[in-house]
Structure 1
Amino acid sequence: MSKKIVLISCVSQKLSHRAKAKDLYVSTLFKLNLKYGNSLKPDAIYILSAEHGLLSLDQMIDPYERTLNNMRAPDIKEWANKVLSQLKEVTSLKGDAFTFLAGEKYRRYLLPHLSNTEIPLKGLPIGKQLKHLKELTA
């Protein structure tokens, strides 16, 4: 039976100390994505971390500065390959349904390897994403 998986991208705003991944990221966008992700009643939610690849919500991590936004395409591809191998350990790339709450840079090299994907906020600038997420989670 196929599982529902939500993938949320990391954000630059973080606590200044070690914490569970779900608590480390403190931006409004991340918190609303997590709230919306939970409302979808998924089997699992993972964070797409520029530093660590795939993170479970309860994984303890230290703050970091790495972002995909200033990485070159070959480095992002390498990151995506790492994430895909991590995903293979916990999901079925072809059988499960993936909902991306993540920007284009985080999705680009993952999407071709996943059969069943949804991108509810695709194409929306951050301000519109925030507005839409607030409505969806109200």
Structure 2
Amino acid sequence: MSKRIVLISCVSQKLSHRAKAKNLYTSMLFKLNLKYANTLEPDGIYILSAKHGLLSLEQEIDPYEQTLNNMRTAEVKMWANKVINQISAIVSLEEDEFIFLAGDKYRKYLLPQIKNARIPLKGLRIGEQLHRLKELIDE
């Protein structure tokens, strides 16, 4: 039986102190992504962190300032390889379904390694993503 895994990208707005990953990120986009992810009844929800790679929701981390958006291509590829290794240690890249609630930078080098991926918010700008997430949550 294949699993359903949701991957949510990290955001810049964070608490100023150590916290569980699910609580550290404070932006409305992150909160709505997490709420929507839970409606999908997945087998796992993970955060794609520019600093830590793959984070479980319960993992405690300190706030940090790091984003893939200002990293060079080689650095983003190295980050993606780390994340693929972290993912493949817990689920199957071949058999499981991955739902990306993450921007292009965060999924670009992961997608070629994953057989079954969905990107429900693909091509939407932030405001459009917020609007669409609210619709999806209310359905």
Relative to the length of structure 1, the TM-score reads 0.99
> What are the Cα deviations for residues 13-66 of structure 1, in whole angstroms up to 9, with x where unaligned?
000000000000000000000000000000000000000000000000000001
Q: Which portions of structure 1, spanning 4 or more consecutive aligned residues, are displaced by more than 6 angstroms?
A: none
Q: Equivalents in 2 of 1:136, 1:98: separation in Å?
A: 17
How high is the sequence identity, in percent, across the aligned residues?
70
Residue of structure 2 in register with 1:65 after alignment: 65
Q: Any unmatched runs of 5+ in structure 1?
A: none
Structure 1 letter corresponding to 2:3: K
For these two proteins, the number of residue pairs brought into alignment is 138
Deviation, 1:10, is 0.1
Superposed displacement of residue 136, structure 1: 1.1
Shift of 1:114: 0.3
SS of match in other structure, 2:8: strand
Mapped partners of 1:77, 1:104: distance in 2? 13
Structure 2 counterpart of 1:5: 5
Instruction: Output the CA distance in 1 between the equivalents of 2:35 and 2:136.
Output: 9
Which residue number corresponds to residue 30 of structure 1?
Answer: 30
Mapping 1:1-138, distance limit 5 Å: 1-138=1-138
Using the size of structure 2 for normalisation, the TM-score is 0.98
| Equivalent-residue separation in structure 2 for 1:73 and 1:39 (angstroms) | 34
